[in-house]
């Protein structure tokens, strides 16, 4: 502004030492000495102001802390809740202290502006060092304790309200059915993003389902048999979603990629070696497998050779480590299922003698936890699953029970539920995404009721909800945390997906809205390609690459691309029969009895047009008009011939 600029001078100085030069240059004050600024003094004054403001703010904070301590002492002595007036007093004090500090800072800034030499600095230059000092030294003031306690109480009340109705979060309002086959669906796998589902069954097939690319027909986009004639026991996507672990009834687990191509196959061990730790792989039928939740490329399998082995995808020729479950007497025992903990540090396995053994992943000798009779001996425990918080373990026993264990006190089950029949060695259980429910399936005899999906509350282990799935056993269940959808595999070859349009995300919602695509006409018209590998080269047909290319070639062929004749609309013509009547009698009537062809004399038919051709020659006469000689005696000859041909009575009359 002009009021603070150095170019402003008084009227006395307007003349200057040389007024003529000032008039010539066009501005006053020409030749005056410029003002100088002492920057060191300005910075020193700014530093003093910032230190003073920081000291006063610290004093105000100490006062607040003292008042809070006095309040805490009063609460402990009186054992009563604080009145809201106390908080208002604290807030009032803090406000008054802030007002005092602000007023003092304003006074100090005014005084500093008075003491500055030269024109005042811009507001940004004055404010920047002060703000930096405040941020480095002070920081934001903490809120009063009363407000924090009120917020915590509100949060606790909200959590209690949510815990009262965990059933409302179950997404079961809608369902879709995926037809895997006619035999039991014994394996389910869903990738971490929830885009693809893979199912495996007793029919040796593994089918891939893509929710984003599938329409309302619900057809799998790929089907294969990775393990030939072995039943599929377990399927699981890796934590990155690019590989699938396939565990079958053979002794060799396989890893395939997202498109079904084999990545690796575990080696088979030597079955004549007594110590199973000295073999390079399993020697008997597998039961199940699981990927490590944190380490990429590491997975685990358990087998009838009484071992649990850890593998790496990069090294399929030998396992990484071997765990050997043992009884209390030190004898071998077969593990029926195994799994990793959520952080991957523990390995849990359930055995045929009813025990559950948990190892540290890095210590293979002795189990960290060992419970002897978790389930009845001789019944195959089909599943063990860790909760999302990692503190609770659920086990689904072959003795028709579901039990809950706390691994921090692994001496007795927290809860146990009975009356859950199971007839499959892979009937599993899982936790809900919020860790408040536990889900498992039940088995039924054929024609003896419906298989159910049963929900238990984790905190009380009450049976809070059931879903009737189908008239067959429920073998597999999977609750995806990202999609919030439940996948179920049944004993009659179906894979069902339960979802809620409001609570679920993507997944089955993507394919339900798509209408079923009609089959292209070109696909129905193409002929099957016959392969004759031993035919001679001259008789061998070129291999058909694709339908589109074959159609393009057929379009160039005049015989194959000939348009068929349209149907006869009127009476039959040209050897074709009319539309109505296809019997022999109708054919005879249309072609013989009702034949309208001209049977007259052909000479008379030609001479019928003689006069018109003579009067108006069009074809022959114009062509020979220049070369044809003139007829000189044609008329005379014609007269003599007419006289000769006259009858006798005409001659007599003449």
pLDDT at 102: 43
Q: Which pLDDT score is estimated for 173?
A: 87
CA distances (Å), 330 to each of 242, 333, 335, 373, in order? 40, 9, 15, 15
Among 191-200, 493-502, 590-599, the range scoring the smallest mean pLDDT is 590-599
Between 451 and 144, residue with greater pLDDT: 451
Most trustworthy range by pLDDT among 2-16, 121-135, 441-455, 526-540: 441-455
Per residue, the 3-state secondary structure of 207-231, as one string, reads EEEECCCCCCCCCCCEEECCCCCCC
Q: Looking at residue 135, what is its pLDDT?
A: 40
Q: What is the pLDDT of residue 146?
A: 47
Lowest mean pLDDT among 83-97, 115-129, 381-395: 83-97
pLDDT-derived band of residue 628, with 50, 70 and 90 as boundaries? confident
Which sequence spans correspond to the domains of the chain? 167-513
Checking if the pLDDT of 198 tops 90, the result is yes
Highest mean pLDDT among 297-311, 585-599, 622-636: 297-311
CA–CA dist 559, 564 (Å, integer) = 10
Q: How confident is the model at residue 290 (pLDDT cuts 50, 70, 90)?
A: very high
Taking Cα atoms as reference points, which of 444, 369, 460, 430 lies closest to residue 400?
444
Q: Residue 318 burial (CB < 10 Å; 0-12/13-18/19+)?
A: middle
Instruction: Give the model's confidence band at 149: pLDDT under 50 very low, under 70 low, under 90 confident, else very high.
Output: very low
Q: Sorting pLDDT into bands at 50, 70 and 90, what band is 302?
A: very high
User: How far is it, in rounded angstroms, from Cα 430 to Cα 388?
Assistant: 10
Distance CA 112, CA 120 (A): 10
The residue-averaged pLDDT of 465-493 equals 90
Q: What is the pLDDT of residue 250?
A: 92
Q: For position 515, what pLDDT does the model report?
A: 74
- Does residue 148 have a pLDDT over 50? no
Give residue 654's pLDDT.
46
Return d(Cα 488, Cα 171) in angstroms, integer.
13
C-alpha–C-alpha distance, residues 85 and 80, integer Å: 14
Our CA angle for 394, 397, 401, nearest 5°, is 85
- Taking the C-alpha atoms of residue 249 and residue 230, their distance in angstroms, rounded to an integer, is 5
DSSP labels, 280-337: SS--S-EEEEEE-SSSTTEEEEEETTS-EEEEETTBTTS-SEEE--B-TTS-B--EEE
Report how far residue 593's alpha carbon sits from residue 138's, in angstroms, rounded to the nearest whole number.
119
Q: Mean pLDDT, the chain, as a whole number?
A: 77
Once rounded to an integer, what is the mean pLDDT over residues 478-486? 90
Q: Does 583 score more than 90 pLDDT?
A: no
Pairs from 249-253 (Cβ < 8 Å, separation ≥ 24): 249/285, 249/286, 250/285, 250/286, 251/281, 251/282, 251/283, 251/284, 251/285, 251/286, 251/303, 251/305, 252/281, 252/282, 252/286, 253/282, 253/286, 253/289, 253/299, 253/301, 253/311
The residue that leads in pLDDT, 504 or 653, is: 504
Query: pLDDT band at residue 601, thresholds of 50, 70 and 90?
Result: confident
pLDDT digits (tens, 9 = 90+) for 403-421: 999 888 888 888 999 989 9
User: In the block, which residue shows the tokens 């908080």?
Assistant: 87
Alpha carbon distance 94, 64 (integer Å) = 7
Greater pLDDT, 512 or 144: 512
Percent of the chain, pLDDT > 70?
70
Of 17-21, 68-72, 157-161, 538-542, which range is least confident? 157-161
Tell me the average pLDDT across 439-467: 89
In this structure, of 187-196, 337-346, 464-473, 609-618, the range with the lowest mean pLDDT score is 609-618
Average pLDDT on 296-323 reads 91
- Whether the Cβ atoms of residue 68 and residue 145 lie closer than 8 Å to each other: yes
Query: pLDDT band for position 565 (50/70/90)?
Result: confident
Least confident range of 177-181, 284-288, 554-558, 581-585: 581-585
Stretch 243-268: mean pLDDT? 92
> pTM of the predicted model, to two decimals?
0.57
- 620 pLDDT exceeds 70? yes
Half-sphere exposure of 512 (CA within 13 A, CB side): 14
Which residues are registered as beta bridge partners of 488? Answer: 477, 496
Give 636 or 332, the one with higher predicted confidence. 332
d(CA 476, CA 486): 10
* Secondary structure tally for the chain: helices H, strands E: 14, 28
Under 8 Å CB-to-CB from 37, ≥6 apart: which residues? Answer: 117, 118, 119
> Ranked by mean pLDDT, which of 462-466, 518-522, 597-601 comes out on top?
462-466
Give me the pLDDT at residue 273, please: 87
Check pLDDT > 90 for residue 438: yes
Q: Is the predicted pLDDT of residue 125 greater than 70, yes or no? A: no
User: Most confidently modeled of 27-31, 217-221, 302-306?
Assistant: 302-306
Q: Identify the weakest region by mean pLDDT among 78-92, 290-304, 316-330, 425-439.
A: 78-92
CATH of domain 167-513: 2.130.10.10
Higher pLDDT pick, 77 / 561:
561
DSSP 527: P
Q: Tell me which of 274-278, 422-426, 566-570 is least confident.
A: 566-570
Share of the chain above pLDDT 90, in %: 26
Q: What pLDDT was estimated at residue 312?
A: 92
Confidence bin at 299 (pLDDT 50/70/90): very high
Mean pLDDT value across residues 187-215 = 90
Higher-pLDDT residue of 69, 24:
69
């Amino acid at each position: 502004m002009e009021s603070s600029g150095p170019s402003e001078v008084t009227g006395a100085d307007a003349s200057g030492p040389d007024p003529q030069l000032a008039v010539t240059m066009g501005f006053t004050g020409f030749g005056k000495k410029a003002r100088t600024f002492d920057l060191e003094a300005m910075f020193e004054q700014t530093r003093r102001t910032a230190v003073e403001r920081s000291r006063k703010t610290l004093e105000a904070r100490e006062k607040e802390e003292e008042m809070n301590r006095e309040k805490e002492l009063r609460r402990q002595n009186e054992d009563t809740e604080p009145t809201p007036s106390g908080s208002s007093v604290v807030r009032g004090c803090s406000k008054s202290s802030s007002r005092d500090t602000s007023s003092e800072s304003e006074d100090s800034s005014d005084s500093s502006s008075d003491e500055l030499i030269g024109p005042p600095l811009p507001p940004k230059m004055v404010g920047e060092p002060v703000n930096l000092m405040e941020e480095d030294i002070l920081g934001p003031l903490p809120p009063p304790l009363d407000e924090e306690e009120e917020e915590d109480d509100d949060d606790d009340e909200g959590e209690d309200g949510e815990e009262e109705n965990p059933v409302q979060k179950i997404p079961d309002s809608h369902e879709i059915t995926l037809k895997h086959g006619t035999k039991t669906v014994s394996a389910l796998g869903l990738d971490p993003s929830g885009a693809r589902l893979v199912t495996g069954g007793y029919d040796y097939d593994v089918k891939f389902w893509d929710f984003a690319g599938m329409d309302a027909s619900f057809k799998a986009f790929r089907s294969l048999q990775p393990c030939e004639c072995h039943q599929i026991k377990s399927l699981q996507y890796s934590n990155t979603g690019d590989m699938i672990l396939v565990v079958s009834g053979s002794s060799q687990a396989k890893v395939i990629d997202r498109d079904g191509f084999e990545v690796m196959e575990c080696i088979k061990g030597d079955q004549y070696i007594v110590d199973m730790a000295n073999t390079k792989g399993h020697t008997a039928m597998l039961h199940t497998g699981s990927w490590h939740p944190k380490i990429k490329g590491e997975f685990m399998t358990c087998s009838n050779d009484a071992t649990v082995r850890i593998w790496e995808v990069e090294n399929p020729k030998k396992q990484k480590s071997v765990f050997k479950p043992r009884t209390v007497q030190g004898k071998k025992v077969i593990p029926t299922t195994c799994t990793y903990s959520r952080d991957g540090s523990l390995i849990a396995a359930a055995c045929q003698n009813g025990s559950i053994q948990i190892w540290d992943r890095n210590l293979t000798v002795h189990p960290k936890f060992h419970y002897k009779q978790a389930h009845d001996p001789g019944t195959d425990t089909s599943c063990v699953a860790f909760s999302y918080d990692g503190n609770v373990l659920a086990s689904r026993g072959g003795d028709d029970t579901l039990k809950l264990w706390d691994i921090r006190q692994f001496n007795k089950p927290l809860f146990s539920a009975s009356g859950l029949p199971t007839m499959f060695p892979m009937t599993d259980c899982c936790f809900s995404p919020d860790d408040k429910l536990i889900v498992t399936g039940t088995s039924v005899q054929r024609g003896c009721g419906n298989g159910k999906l049963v929900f238990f509350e984790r905190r009380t282990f009450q049976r809070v909800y059931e879903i009737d799935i189908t008239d067959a056993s429920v073998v597999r269940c999977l609750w995806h945390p990202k999609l919030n959808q439940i996948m179920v595999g049944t004993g009659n070859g179906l894979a069902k997906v339960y979802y809620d349009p409001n609570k679920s995300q993507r997944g089955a919602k993507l394919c339900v809205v798509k209408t079923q695509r009609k089959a292209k006409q070109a696909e129905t018209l193409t002929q099957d390609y016959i392969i004759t590998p031993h035919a001679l080269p001259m008789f061998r047909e070129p291999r058909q690459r694709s339908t589109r290319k074959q159609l393009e070639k057929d379009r160039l062929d005049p015989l194959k691309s000939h348009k068929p004749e349209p149907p006869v609309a009127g009476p039959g013509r040209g050897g074709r029969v009319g539309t109505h009547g296809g019997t022999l009698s109708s054919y005879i009537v249309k072609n013989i009895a009702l034949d309208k062809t001209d049977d007259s004399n052909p000479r008379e038919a030609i001479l019928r047009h003689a006069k018109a051709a003579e009067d108006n020659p069009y074809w022959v006469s114009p062509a020979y008009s220049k070369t044809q000689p003139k007829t000189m005696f044609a008329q005379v000859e014609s007269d003599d011939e007419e006289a000769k041909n006259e009858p006798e009575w005409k001659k007599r009359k003449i």
